[in-house]
Structures are given as structure tokens and as C-alpha cells.
Structure 1
Amino acid sequence: MNISVLGCGRWGTFLAWYASKIGHNVSLWGREGSANLLQLKEKRKNEYLTISEEMKLTNSLEEAVSFADIIIISISAQQLRNLGKQLKLLPDAQNKIFVLCMKGLEATSGKRLSQVFKEEVGSSVNLAVWLGPGHVQDFVRDIPNCMVIGSENIEVTKTIVNTFNSDLIRFYYGQDLIGNEIGAATKNVMGIAAGMLDGLNYSSLKGALMARGTREISRLVRAMGGNDITIYGLSHLGDYEATLFSPFSNNRRFGEDFVGEKRFNKLAEGVATIEALQQLSKQYDVELPICDALAQVIFNEKEAAQTLLDLFLRPVKFEF
């Protein structure tokens, strides 16, 4: 199978490495002038892994799309709409299977990434999402994990699972696209909250964060028409260990550095997701107290320690 990966950051490069490792022909695309792509061309490696000599590297979007049967997209969520506009102009795009390996929501609209992509490329495009726990640093050491593939078309789901399943990654069929996409995006928000608790030496509250976070997001998923049970699956709760506790999590590290007043230079998708959730909270009339508290701290400069303590020590109420 010919696979193209669009995006040569940490996760995109890993996906290309993984597809190559399990026997596929792979092309990896990066934008013209991309420092990551230049490094890979010069050294065939980044700080996490080494790619094979056979892997194609290109900054031509048309070349990457025409090469592949399946196209994996792994870029910043906020850049997806613009990429979709470019893909729509390519003659081959409608005949391909696209897989979004991204966890986020469009900040300005609150829309799920599959919605954004179909708005730009076309409603009939073959599209799936690839979500769930796992860090590059663990996978390259042959530490396995479980992930989920979801699509509105079960045949597309089966094709992707059959193409990428291995002893390193065990896939499950996702049955609820709304729940899986919202779950994957919002676990990054909970990761930011966990990092703040770590930075404030309130790590023991992460258990309460997990319990209340899943309940909060399940209410939102139900209001949006999804299955609230999905939040307790791989895309959200199943990804908590990798996001709320791992030293490799950018979102957890962002939260810890934020309360420590340290500069954080990597992408933390959860920040834009908090903005998106403000939109969804109003649109679906669902209270999101954890997300609201984080918005107050990050965007309105509320004091983090008191805001988070007030959140968890709210007036007594029934748990369920």
C-alpha cells in the first residue's frame, strides 16, 4: 500500500516511520521551508527516530497526494481548514482515503475536525479519524498501545484498521464519531488542568479531575448527539495516562509551565480547544466548569491556585 503523511512534526514523522516499519511505501510531506523537513532530508532523523532511506520526502502537496492510496494528516488543528482548501484543488483528492491523526477543535467555530475537512474538501470524501493514547517516545522503544479508528463509513474504518494493525498498535473500531472527536480534543484540556495541578503541588487532585472531567465532557457529547459512554473509551479516558501523567505530554507540560511562569515553546492543542469549548458550551447550553476555570486562568489572568481550588471545593452536591 502507498501511504502519504501530511505533516512532519513529532507525530506525523512517527506515523510515516510506523507505516514504513510495517511494510508500506511511504511519502512524507512538509511545507516548503519547513525546518523539520530540512532536518529529515539532511540527517534522515529527528530527536525521536531515524527514517529509512526508501522513504520519500517532499514539499509538493500534489506529489504527495498522487502517490498515495491512503493519506494521513497530522498538522496543527487550526491549520486544517487552509490545508483542506488546497487539497480541494487537486484532481486526485476525491479518490483517496484521508485519515485525520489530530486531536483538536476549530477554535473560532467549535467545529470538529471532520466537519472542517468535509466543508472544504467535500461531503462525499472518504474520511476517518485515528485517535487514542500513545507517545512517540514509547512506540519507538517497542512499547505497544491501543488506539481507535472512527468513520461514518464502516468499510473505510475496516480498510484503515487492516492496513495499519500490528503488534505495536492494536486498533478498535470507533462507533461514535462525535464522541471520539470531542473526547480526543478535550483530553488535551484535562491535560492542561493536570499540569497546573502538578505545578501547584496539588497532584492528588488529579483523581478528582479525572472523575469530574469525564462527567463534564460526557454531558457535552450527549447534548451534541453523540454517545456519552464513548468518553470512557480510548479516545478520552483511555488517553488520560498519556496526557495527565506522562512527562511526554505537551499539554500537561504547558499547564505546569504556565503556573510556574515558564515559557513553553511547543504546540499544546488544548489551548485552542478551550476557546472552542467556550463556543460549544453556549451553543449546546452545557455547563463546563473545568473548561471555564481554565479559560479564566489562561485568557483572563485569574489566579490559578485559587481558581482551581474553588473549582474542586464547590458547594456540596450529589455526585451523580
Structure 2
Amino acid sequence: MNISVLGCGRWGTFLAWYANKVGHNVMLWGRENSRNFIGLKETRSNDYLSLSEDVELTNSLEKAILFAEIIIISISAQELRSFANQLSSLNETQGKTFILCMKGLEANSGKRLSQVFREEVGKNVNLAVWVGPGHVQDFVNNIPNCMVIGSDNIEVTKRIVQELNSDLIRFYYGQDLIGNEIGAAAKNVMGIAAGMLDGLNYSSLKGSLMARGTKEISRLVRAMGGNDVTVYGLSHLGDFEATLFSDHSHNRKFGQALVEGKRFGKLAEGVATVKALDELSKQYDVQLPICNALFEIIFENKNAEETLKDLFLRPVKFEF
């Protein structure tokens, strides 16, 4: 099968590498002047992996869409609306299957990425999300993991899983798009909180963060019409090891750098997601104490140590 990957950052390049590894013809698209694309054109490699000569590189969006039946998108979540709008002007999108491989929410509206994509591209495409735990650094060293493909059409989900399943990534069928998307985005927020706890030498509180954070997000998912049990699956709780405890996690490292007064130069999607969850908390009238505390620390310059201690050591109350 022909598969195109749009976006040649760390994860997008891995997805092209993986789709090629499991036997597909792959085209990888990147912006002509992006540092990642220029590097791949010159050396066919980045800091994490080398691409086979079989993977074709292109900076033509039209060519990438025409080439493939399945199109994987891996860009910054906050760029998705303008990017999808650009795709909507191409007639070749009709009937194609798109997979969104980002974990985020639109910061200002709180909308899920599948909603954003549908608003711009329309209903005449198949749409799925690919979420769950896994780091490029582990996969390229042949360390396997389990991930989720979710869509609102089980036949689309099954077809994608059939084409992409392997011993390296074992896929599960996601049956709750709301829960999978909110859960996947929110785990990055919990990752930032975990990094803050690490930076403050309160790492032992990460167990409380996991328990209370998962409960908090499950309440939101239920209020939005999703299944509150979904967040206890791979898209959220199952991704905590890769986000709350991993040296590879950008979100955890961002949180740690913030409380240590250092600068972290890489993309941490969870920062925009904090804004989105604050918006959803208001829209659905659901209390999100952890997300709210992070909003105060990141955007209102509240003291991180005091705010987090107040959060976790609140007055005595029943656990459930």
C-alpha cells in the first residue's frame, strides 16, 4: 500500500520509517525550508534514525496526497487548523484515509483535533487518530509497545490496524474518540506536572498525580459525552510511563526546566493543552484542580512549589 506521512519532525520521520519497515511504499513530506527536511535531504537521517532509500522525500503537498491511500499527519497540534485548511483546497483528498498522530487540543477553543480537521476538510474523508505510549528512541532499538487506533468508523479502524500492526507496535481498536483524544492530550499536561515535581524533589508525589490526574480527566471525558473508563486505557494512563517517568519526554523536561528556572527549547505540546483544558473546564463546568494549578503556574506566574503543595496537601476529604 502507498502511505504518505506529512511532517518530518522526530515523530513524523519515525512514522515514515515504521510504515516502510512493515512493508509499505512511503512518501515523507516536509516544508522545503524546514531544518528537518533539509537535513533528511542531505543525509537521510536525523538524531534518532536513518531512512531507507525506499522512502521518497517531497516538499509537494499535492504530490504526497496524490501518492497515497493512507495519509498520516504529524505536525504541531496548534498548526493543524491552518494546515487542514491548506489540504482542503486540494481536490485529491476525497475518499482518502487520514490518521492524526498528534496529542493535543486546539488551545483557544478546546476542540479535539478530529473536530478541527473535519471542520476544515469536511466529511468526505475517513479519519482516525493514532495515540498511546512509545518513544522513537525505544522503537528504533526494537523495544516494542502497545498503541491505539481510534475512529468513529470501526471498519476504518480495523483496516488501519491490519495494515500497520507488527511485533514492534501492537495496536488496539479505540472505540471512544472523545476519550482517546482528550486522554492523549491531557497526559502531556500530567507530564508537565510530573516534571515540576521532579524539579522540586517531590518525585514521590507522582503516584498521587497519576491517581488524581486520571480521575480528574475521566470526569471531563464523561461530561463531554465520552466513556470515562477510556482514560484508564492506553491513550492516557497507559502513556504515563512514557511521559511522567521518561528522560525522553519533552513535556516532563519542560516542567522540570520551568521550576529550575532553565530554558527548554523544544516543543512541549502540553503547554497549549493546559490552555485548552482550562477552556473545557469552563465550557463543561467540570473542576480540573491539577490542570488549573498548572495554568496558574505557567500563565499567571504563581509559585510552583506553593501551588503544587497546596494542591496535593489539601484539607482531608474522602478519596472516592
Question: Helix, strand or coil for the counterpart of 2:214?
Answer: helix
Residue type matched to 1:45 in 2? S
Shift of residue 114 of structure 1? 0.1
1:234 maps to: 234
Question: Helix, strand or coil for the counterpart of 2:91?
Answer: coil
Give CA deviations for 1:93-145 in whole Å, capped at 9, x if unaligned. Answer: 01210000110000010000000000000023200000000000000000000
2:24 maps to: 24
1:149-298 alignment runs, 5 A limit: 149-298=149-298
Q: What 5-or-longer segments of structure 1 have no aligned partner?
A: none
Residue type matched to 2:162 in 1? N
For residues 240 and 202 of structure 1, the distance between their equivalents in structure 2, rounded to whole angstroms, comes to: 17
For residues 273 and 25 of structure 2, the distance between their equivalents in structure 1, rounded to whole angstroms, comes to: 34
1:91-106 alignment runs, 5 A limit: 91-106=91-106
Residue type matched to 2:12 in 1? G
- Structure 1 residue ranges (4+ consecutive) displaced by more than 3 angstroms after TM superposition: none
Give CA deviations for 1:225-268 in whole Å, capped at 9, x if unaligned. Answer: 00000000000000000000000000000000000111111110
1:305 maps to: 305
Shift of residue 32 of structure 1? 2.2
**TM-score, normalisation: structure 1:** 0.99
Question: Helix, strand or coil for the counterpart of 2:171?
Answer: strand
Shift of residue 31 of structure 1? 1.2
Structure 2 residue 57 is matched with structure 1 residue 61: no
For residues 69 and 291 of structure 1, the distance between their equivalents in structure 2, rounded to whole angstroms, comes to: 38
1:13 maps to: 13
For residues 27 and 182 of structure 2, the distance between their equivalents in structure 1, rounded to whole angstroms, comes to: 29
Verify the 8 A CA contact 2:77 2:103 in the aligned structure 1: yes
For residues 291 and 171 of structure 2, the distance between their equivalents in structure 1, rounded to whole angstroms, comes to: 29
**TM-score, normalisation: structure 2:** 0.99
For residues 219 and 314 of structure 1, the distance between their equivalents in structure 2, rounded to whole angstroms, comes to: 19
How many residue pairs get matched? Answer: 320
For residues 55 and 243 of structure 1, the distance between their equivalents in structure 2, rounded to whole angstroms, comes to: 29
Verify the 8 A CA contact 2:32 2:38 in the aligned structure 1: no
1:104-123 alignment runs, 5 A limit: 104-123=104-123
2:315 maps to: 315
**RMSD over equivalenced CA pairs, Å:** 0.5
For residues 58 and 316 of structure 2, the distance between their equivalents in structure 1, rounded to whole angstroms, comes to: 58
